[in-house]
């Protein structure tokens, strides 16, 4: 039986505040020039137009302080302001919306914070019995003692997004080489996470909240780098794109992982579960979950959705309507304790 997505009955009655780094700022509702992240200006503008095309009453801003005056003026905050120059930036808008009692995109702040921290989420996933690799976090100023697992090592930003800071040198055979990369992250003001390198390819599993959720498929971001790793440059350029992939018998195991994640962390409006998967052995290693992930037409969510007959517009409308329904009664219990 085909799955039906939620669609708004009267979208013009829903007032949305759209927030993104390159969102148009009223009254000039035009696409901005690209900044440091290639393609994001076009992406953020096109998503703004998509919300308008669905029929929502959309206001737009690139400034986080726009949310401070949203109380009583909007019905929903659609925020892609996930990366701001502050610690735990993905928590800022959800926390503010909780205070103002405005429904917002994604998941509660505590779940957003857990997902952003690749080390704490690894510990949480392990406690749930999910297949994760060992790892060790290195805070700035901490002694760089080797981890208690052998190499080769993979070094990344503990709180990074879009493969920030990952280069071909992130893959190191020895601890001495890995320590150099950890120091490089520290020099940039970033905490580092060191993991054993997992052979195979990256596979992501896009999921939308549904009844209770729907796994859209399995997508492999393409890489031409040594070890098939996804570097920051590859993510920024994205000239290789994504492909649907058949993971064989691992599909059932990944579905079980998603069910475990949903029971522990859900409901979530939409997310990706990111894996390293070895086609030769079928071994899967859960790396992280990505909440409020990329909604571009060539992204994993849209690509997987098309095999169900869902357009990007269908998915965006569904996510908004699911989120509104999820949060309909969430503010009733809130009150001052003292």
In a domain, 244, yes or no: yes
At 40, phi and psi to the nearest 5? -75, -30
Number of structural domains the chain divides into: 3
Residue 235 lies in a domain: yes
What CATH number corresponds to the domain at position 296?
A: 3.30.470.20
Q: What CATH number is attached to the domain comprising 27?
A: 3.40.50.20
Domain of residue 259: give its range: 113-131+199-307
Q: Is residue 77 part of a domain?
A: yes
| Same domain assignment for residues 221 and 299 | yes
Both structure tokens of 32: 């901005």
Q: Per-residue confidence of the chain (338 residues) as pLDDT tens digits?
A: 457 899 999 999 999 999 999 999 988 778 777 766 567 889 999 999 999 999 999 999 999 889 988 888 999 999 998 777 767 778 899 999 999 999 999 999 999 999 999 999 999 999 999 999 999 999 999 999 999 999 899 999 999 876 575 778 888 999 999 999 999 999 999 999 999 999 999 999 999 999 999 999 999 876 555 555 665 554 454 555 778 999 999 999 999 999 999 999 999 999 999 999 999 999 999 999 999 988 988 889 999 999 999 999 999 999 999 999 999 866 666 666 55
254 and 178 within one domain:
no
CB 254 within 8 A of CB 284: yes
121 and 232 in a single domain? The answer is: yes
**Are both 150 and 232 inside the same structural domain?**
no
Q: Give the CB-side neighbour count of residue 301, counting CA atoms within 13 A.
A: 24
Are 183 and 298 found together in one domain?
no
Is residue 78 domain-shared with residue 23, that is, in the same domain? yes
Residue 330 in domain: no
């Amino acid at each position: 039986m085909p799955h039906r997505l939620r669609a708004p009955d009267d979208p013009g009655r829903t007032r949305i505040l759209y927030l993104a780094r390159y969102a148009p700022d009223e009254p000039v509702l035009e696409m901005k020039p690209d900044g440091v992240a290639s393609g994001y200006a076009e992406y953020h503008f096109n998503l703004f137009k998509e919300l308008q095309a669905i029929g929502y009453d959309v206001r737009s801003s690139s400034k986080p302080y726009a949310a401070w005056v949203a109380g009583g003026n909007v019905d929903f905050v659609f925020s892609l302001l996930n990366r701001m120059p502050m610690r735990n930036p993905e928590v800022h808008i959800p926390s503010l919306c909780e205070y103002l009692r405005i429904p917002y995109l994604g998941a509660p702040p505590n779940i957003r914070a857990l997902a952003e921290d690749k080390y704490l989420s690894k510990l949480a996933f392990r406690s749930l019995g999910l297949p994760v690799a060992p790892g060790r976090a290195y805070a700035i100023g901490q002694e760089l003692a080797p981890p208690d697992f052998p190499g080769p090592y993979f070094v990344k930003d503990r709180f990074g997004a879009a493969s920030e800071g990952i280069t071909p040198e992130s893959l190191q055979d020895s601890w001495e080489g890995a320590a150099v990369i950890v120091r490089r992250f520290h020099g940039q003001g970033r905490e580092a996470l060191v993991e054993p390198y997992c052979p195979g390819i990256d596979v992501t599993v896009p999921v939308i909240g549904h009844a209770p959720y729907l796994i859209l498929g399995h997508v492999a971001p393409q890489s031409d780098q040594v070890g098939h790793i996804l570097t920051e440059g590859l993510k920024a350029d994205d000239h290789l794109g994504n492909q649907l992939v058949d993971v064989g018998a691992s599909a059932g195991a990944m579905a079980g992982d998603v069910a475990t994640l949903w029971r522990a962390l859900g409901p979530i409006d939409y997310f990706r579960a990111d894996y390293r998967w070895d086609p030769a052995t079928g071994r899967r290693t859960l790396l992280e979950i990505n909440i409020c992930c990329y909604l571009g037409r060539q992204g994993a969510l849209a690509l997987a959705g098309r095999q169900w007959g869902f357009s990007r517009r269908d998915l965006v409308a569904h996510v908004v309507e699911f989120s509104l329904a999820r949060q309909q009664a969430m503010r009733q219990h809130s009150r001052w304790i003292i």
